Structure formats: C-alpha cells, structure tokens
Amino acid sequence: MKPLSKSLIAVIVLAVLAVGGYLGWSALDQKPEAPNASFSLLDGKTVDLSAYRGKVVLVNFWATSCTTCVGEMPELVKTYDQLNPKGFDLVAVAMSYDNPEFVRNFVQQRQLPFTVAFDASGQAAKAFKDVRLTPTSFLIDKSGHIVKQYVGTPNFAELHQLIDNLLARQA
C-alpha cells in the first residue's frame, strides 16, 4: 500500500475539521424552544409568551416569601429600565403558593415597571420544566428559544452582556 502524501493528509484533516466544525456549531446553536405558556396578569388579563416574539425576554419565577427573589428585584428593575428601550422585556411570574394580595401589595409598593403575573394554577411553572425553586429565570431570544436558565440570582453584569448580544442579533 502506498503512503498518503502530506498534501492529501492535509486536505483530509481540513475536510474533517470543516465538517466537524459545521456539525458542532449547528448542534450548539440549537436552543430549546420556549413553551407556549400563558400568564394570568394581576388585572385579570392573560398574555401569551408568543406576544413577546421579536423581543428578548426574561421570564422570572419568584415569590414574595423568597428572600432571594425580593433581594434581586431592584436589580431586575434596573435591568428592565436600562434595556427595555432597546427591545428587552421581563415577565415576573409569582408562584402558585404565593398569596395574591401579597403579590399585589409588593408590586404596588415597589412600583415594578414590568409585567407581573400570578400563576394560580401552576401551569406556567409546569410548562417551564416544572419550576419549583425560586428564583428561577429563563432568558428567551427574539425567535422564542431559551438561551439560558438561571436558578438563583444571576450575575447581572453577565446577564446584561448576554441580553445586549441577543438584542444585537436579528430574530
């Protein structure tokens, strides 16, 4: 058997790398689609997650009894205020075990500027991988795919950078 020439080996290596790189990139690029969830707002209206298509949105599951959730709210407000003009939105979903009056009072006292929902039936939490721990947040891109899940308080500097990157991309 005749040995392969160096140039033929180089071509084979490049071809394998190109195919592997392509396959690896496409596999990494495929993010799970966000569920087709509906949120019951405090005013009794309902909004579907699909209404946020074309925006980058953070869906944050929280409770008034969760000290970590309450502690991260000022940062969520800053994130919303800073990035909403660029196309970012936020939906804070209070868990089914929370008291609806406590949620209303919290929203009014803190003057939360973003959408707040109450998941009375627990269906929204179930739709999002059966959320049980709070805070749990899902960052969703413009095309409706979950880019990142956070359990606990996110690193807000990194979150802002990721949101900025997602806002810069086309849907």
pLDDT at 3 over 90: no
Domain carrying residue 73: 38-168
**CATH code, domain with 144:** 3.40.30.10
pLDDT of residue 90: 98
* Closest alpha carbon to 105 in 64, 44, 59, 61: 64
Confidence of residue 22 (pLDDT cuts 50, 70, 90): very low
pLDDT of residue 2: 57
Whether 81 and 1 map to the same domain: the answer is no
Check whether the bond before 154 is cis (ω within 30° of 0).
no
pLDDT at 5 over 70: no
**Could you give the number of structural domains in the chain?**
2
Whether 19 and 91 map to the same domain: the answer is no
Confidence of residue 87 (pLDDT cuts 50, 70, 90): very high
Question: What is the average pLDDT value for the chain, to the nearest integer?
Answer: 88
| Distance of alpha carbon 161 from the chain centroid | 13
The answer to pTM > 0.85 is: no
Angle between helices 156-168 and 67-83 (to 10 degrees): 40
Confidence of residue 1 (pLDDT cuts 50, 70, 90): low
Whether 140 and 93 map to the same domain: the answer is yes
Whether 96 and 147 map to the same domain: the answer is yes
Please answer whether residues 55 and 89 qualify as being in contact, where contact means their C-beta atoms are separated by less than 8 angstroms.
yes
Whether 80 and 118 map to the same domain: the answer is yes
Whether 26 and 66 map to the same domain: the answer is no
Which amino acid, residue 169?
A: R
Whether 90 and 14 map to the same domain: the answer is no
Whether 79 and 115 map to the same domain: the answer is yes
pLDDT of residue 27: 43
For 105-150, what is the HEC assignment? HHHHHHCCCCEEEECCCCHHHHHCCCCCCCCEEEEECCCCEEEEEE
pLDDT of residue 30: 78
4-27 average pLDDT score: 43
pLDDT at 14 over 60: no
pLDDT at 13 over 60: no
Whether 23 and 57 map to the same domain: the answer is no
Whether 154 and 92 map to the same domain: the answer is yes
pLDDT of residue 170: 82
17-24 average pLDDT score: 38
Whether 163 and 111 map to the same domain: the answer is yes
Whether 80 and 1 map to the same domain: the answer is no
